[in-house]
A and B are shown apart, each in its own frame.
Chain A
Amino acid sequence: MENIRNFCIIAHIDHGKSTLADRLLEITGTVTGKDLQAQVLDDMDIERERGITIKSHAIQMDYKVNGQKYVLNLIDTPGHVDFSYEVSRAIASCEGALLVVDATQGIQAQTISNMYQAIDHNLTVIPVLNKMDMPAAMPEEVKDQIIDLIGCKREDIIEVSARTGVGIQDVLDAIIERVPAPKGDPEGPLQALIFDSVFNSFRGIIAYYRILNGTLKKGEHVKFVNTTHDYHADEIGVLKLKLSPRDTVCAGDVGYIISGIKSAKEVKVGDTITHVNNPCDSAVAGFENVKSMVFAGIYPVDADDYEELRASLEKLQLNDASLTFIPESSAALGFGFRGGFLGLLHMEIIQERLDREFDMDVITTVPNVSYKVVTTKGEKLDVHNPSGLPAPTLIDFIEEPYIKAQVITKTEYVGAIMNLCIDKRGVLQSQTYLTTDRVEINFEMPLAEIVFDFYDKLKSISKGYASFDYHPTVYKQAKLVKLDILLNGEQVDALSTLIHFDNAYPFGRRMCEKLKELIPRQQYEVAIQAAIGSKIIARETISAMRKDVTAKCYGGDISRKRKLLEKQKKGKKRMRQIGTVEVPQSAFLAVLKLD
């Protein structure tokens, strides 16, 4: 056990985490030339293309130094706020963390919040300054930030370039020297922390774990403490570039288990594996059931594809337990599902995977958060869909989720960012100067406000120099109203939103304006109205189409004309008929495109 080192990498998106991991794998000979592709650990196409890590991964490296053989377990963690729970479980599986900071950009909000988690878990932090080969690198300034943040010595910070390979050896040596060997009792009752799972279509679910105490042997009868399911360890082993089966995995090590589990729902990140016969006294602390934060309708473009969509979502759920969905129906969109997601990125990823992996064309509706409604009769309801809201007269009050939001930016953008957050109903809680020109601002604000267009606005007003992180806190009562959209008098349920009363008027006006842009002219006039209850608060009119005609249609024109009209009909079929109005799919996301 003395020769095992478990570590993770904490970094902001684009700070070079995956490239650094690639270099470590290369230098330890874990990956050889023919397997080499950029971002070895990110095996989903989406991960590679977006340059982000969605799932946690783990890989074991063998490393020999001074005649000693070491086993290094690298646990690669997701790099987005949507997945912060997974990150916390990965951190809990390690003794050390590489804090990778881009020397050209400095510390970002995401890094800081993950950093605090690492410190909470008593991890040894090795600061690494990456991208030192770049002309824009400002090592001394960024070193100041790092020293401020973790209180390390200046000489502890390792300068590297993951791109060119400079300094990688120093990183390896630091992992061996500074990260403590894992502690734990190999003879004690089994206690293993699950930090992630993946789905394999041939083998079912493969769960990744870190053994804290005890020893797991192939074929043993084990149970998962929180789900209470029990299984036989059909195959266990360690994670090399590919799965590498073993007969035993001991305390301190990181490994995998295959036990015929079919669905990811049965394997919860943060759960504890123990023996059925000699169970551990307590589960590993910190387990949480993953909760959906953002909800949106998912509807098939072609109504006939409803069953296929269900099958696709079920398959996605096999390897993504954080996705939830229940059937719902909409007058405008027909039959579909209410999806629950960890956040907006997660929602985007699901949508993209439906398209790529299942060739499913879907309409996703405006996302919303989960509200708690207390009725006049005192009932408490969880509402995940504005159209599921009881009638206003039956509502006593509504509560909405709040978050603690953290923004790190340059001093020159503080004013604009404060304005944005206040516009979004944020309340300033603290403001800390990290260095002379970097500020950390903390806000409490409603989650609903960041679901729409918050990131984009933050990015544009800070010219990209603001990083953002958030954590859900509590539910608070709010003056919310349901804003409906009507097309030629017909209410469009899929366009209803719950919104704070103070914002309802300007929001309604902007919705009408945007819809006017998105809905094509029809053969007759179309009235777009925004309403609260029966009160119309905004209106736009799309005037009727005046000219849509082909001048000539003789013997030689008929074929071409027919094909054109058939194509147009196909386009119409993709639109949704709301009463008499044809509405393109893009209109259902109008709210996300408001200026």
Chain B
Amino acid sequence: MAGIYFHIPFCKTRCSYCDFFSSVSEEYIPKIIEAEIKELEFKKEYLNCETIETIYFGGGTPSFISENNIQQLLNSVYKNFKVCDNPEITIEVNPDDISSQKANSFFSFGINRVSMGTQSFNDDILKFLNRRHNSKQALKSIGILKQSGFKNISIDLIYGIPNLNNYEWEKTIDTALQLNIQHISAYHLSFEKGTKIHQQLKTKEIFALQDDDSVNQYNLLCKKLKNNSFEHYEISNFSLPEFNSKHNSSYWEGKKYGGIGPSSHSFNGNSRQWNVSDIEKYIKGVISNKGYFTKENLSLNQKYNEYILTRLRTNKGVSDKEILVNFGENILNHFLTEIKLLTNSNKVILTNNNNYSISEENWFISDGIIAQLCKI
């Protein structure tokens, strides 16, 4: 079983916090679609012709290009791969791109999950983030999607934003909860290099939130969503029962995936590879089938480190049985030695029948815990 990810590297405007690879040059759209279809054929071998369970259109802004282009890409998956009976097919959309016609088209293609880049329901915050939409548009678009038949809708929210106080954050969470949606991804703002907000932080135009305030916003989020039956299944992901993102979960469960398009990553269990983050180089490379990606074969230690780092971010956690089976006794001994230090003293690791996970309140300090468990 495997997943396919299509990267649609186009946006109308750039958001102030975003460091994903994207371009505003629309003239490349047809060539990119053509190249991505071609790349998909090459990925058959890499993915060992596995059956496809999930398909994901991300970006960039997939809703920015025409529905036809999306359909072409989707068709090419069916043409090249065996697809399972009820695949999860997700598309990321921007609220201001959604019309009834577009939503109906997406639904008619078999797309059954929409992830909307809402980020906030506060217009000042949206402006700060340089989003194109306002909160009213977001609410309206959710309505349109529901009308078109979508029963699995997710929205993205961002917290930990300079000047976002707890009161405004709570209002955003409350608004989200009133929408009767099935999934919420909520991210603490990161100041990534090369973004506008990173620059603003450097020049002291803006200031990062104090850690204590960040923690308060995180705790508020956890509490509110829990009270509304959402399961906190990954550090930044919450869903109603049965509505976990299957595609994203496959990243954390070590399943294979083929990433199509510039800057996309692929994984087949033994190696990771990533495409060049440059539209022209990507197109040229795919046409000649060379030099458009970098590949890294994973050592046993590296595979173990990835297992630890992805799985401890989820509520599933890790188990010593899986470690023994997949990585051997040597690595298991390393794991048990390190885990002892963590469980003995500071109780940041929850233990349950040889299964280990990081508790919800400690997820906010999970990087150091995971690093401790890594093997080098």
What is the interface of chain A, defined by CB distance below 8 A to chain B?
522-524, 544-556, 558-559, 561-562, 565-566, 568-570, 572-573, 577, 579-580
Contacts and interface: CB of A to CB of B under 8 A. Distances in A.
Contacts of B5: 555
B364 A547 contact: yes
16 contacts: A522-B346, A523-B365, A523-B368, A546-B212, A546-B215, A548-B367, A549-B235, A551-B187, A553-B235, A553-B313, A554-B251, A558-B267, A566-B374, A569-B371, A569-B374, A580-B345
Given A556-B274, A566-B376, A548 B296 contact: no
Contacts of A580: 341, 344-346
B367 A565 contact: yes
Closest 6 CB pairs of A and B: A580-B345, A568-B371, A546-B211, A569-B374, A551-B187, A556-B265
A555 B188 contact: no
B369 interface: yes
A568 B264 CA distance: 26
Given A523-B348, A573-B376, A580-B341, A555 B365 contact: no
A551 B346 contact: no
A578 to B, nearest CB: 11
A569 B373 CA distance: 8
A523 B306 CA distance: 22
Contact of B211 (A547, A555, A570): A547
A555 B306 contact: no
Contact of A550 (B305, B344, B367, B372): B367
A565 B305 contact: yes
A579 B212 CA distance: 27
Given A553-B310, A559-B272, A546 B364 contact: yes
A79 B55 CA distance: 75
Contacts of A562: 302, 305-306, 309
Contacts of B23: none
B364 A549 contact: yes
B366 to A, nearest CB: 5
B257 interface: yes
Q: Which of B274, B366, B370 has the most CB of A within 10 A?
A: B370
B237 to A, nearest CB: 10
B371 A572 contact: yes
A550 B235 CA distance: 9
A558 B269 CA distance: 13
Contacts of A523: 346, 348, 362, 365, 368-369
Contacts of B369: 523
Contacts of A551: 187-190, 235-236
Interface in B179-218: 187-190, 211-212, 214-215
B154 interface: no
B248 interface: yes
A566 B367 CA distance: 11
B62 interface: no
A547 B365 contact: yes
A149 B305 CA distance: 71
Q: Which of B212, B265, B296, B341 has the most CB of A within 10 A?
A: B265
A569 B236 contact: no
Interface residues of B, number: 49
B95 interface: no
Contacts of A566: 305, 371, 374, 376
Contacts of B251: 553-555, 558
Contacts of A579: 345
A44 B138 CA distance: 71
B259 interface: yes
B368 A545 contact: yes
B363 interface: yes
Interface of B: 5, 187-190, 211-212, 214-215, 235-236, 248, 251-252, 257, 259, 263-267, 272, 274, 296, 302, 305-306, 309-310, 313, 341, 344-346, 348, 362-372, 374-376
Q: Which of A548, A555, A561, A566 has the most CB of B within 10 A?
A: A555
A545 B365 contact: yes
A133 B89 CA distance: 83
Nearest to B272: A559
B215 A572 contact: no
A551 B296 CA distance: 24
A570 B376 contact: yes
B170 to A, nearest CB: 19
A524 B363 CA distance: 14
Contacts of A577: 341
Nearest to B314: A553
A302 to B, nearest CB: 12
A547 B272 contact: no
A565 B371 contact: yes
A558 B211 CA distance: 25
Nearest to B186: A551
A569 B376 contact: yes
B259 A555 contact: yes
A204 B40 CA distance: 69
A203 to B, nearest CB: 43
Nearest to A547: B211
A579 B264 CA distance: 43
A558 B364 contact: no
Contacts of B368: 522-523, 545, 548, 568
Given A549-B367, A553-B309, A565 B374 contact: yes
Contact of A547 (B214, B305, B346): B214
Given A546-B211, A546-B364, A556-B259, A572 B372 contact: yes
Contacts of B296: 559
Contacts of A561: 309
A549 B371 contact: no
Nearest to B374: A569
A571 B370 CA distance: 13
Contact of B365 (A548, A559, A565): A548
A549 B188 contact: yes
A558 B235 CA distance: 15
A550 B265 CA distance: 18
B111 to A, nearest CB: 19
A545 B346 CA distance: 12
Given A548-B367, A568-B368, A558 B310 contact: yes
Given A545-B368, A547-B214, A551-B187, 7 more contacts: A546-B364, A547-B211, A549-B364, A553-B313, A555-B265, A566-B374, A572-B371
Contacts of B363: 549
A549 B366 contact: yes
B256 to A, nearest CB: 11
Contacts of B264: 555-556
B175 to A, nearest CB: 21
B265 A546 contact: no
Contacts of A556: 259, 263-265, 274
A568 B373 CA distance: 11
Contacts of A524: 345-346, 348
A565 B373 CA distance: 9
A391 to B, nearest CB: 29
B213 to A, nearest CB: 10
A555 B268 CA distance: 12
A554 B248 contact: yes
A552 B251 CA distance: 12
A309 to B, nearest CB: 22
Q: Which of B214, B236, B267 has the most CB of A within 10 A?
A: B236
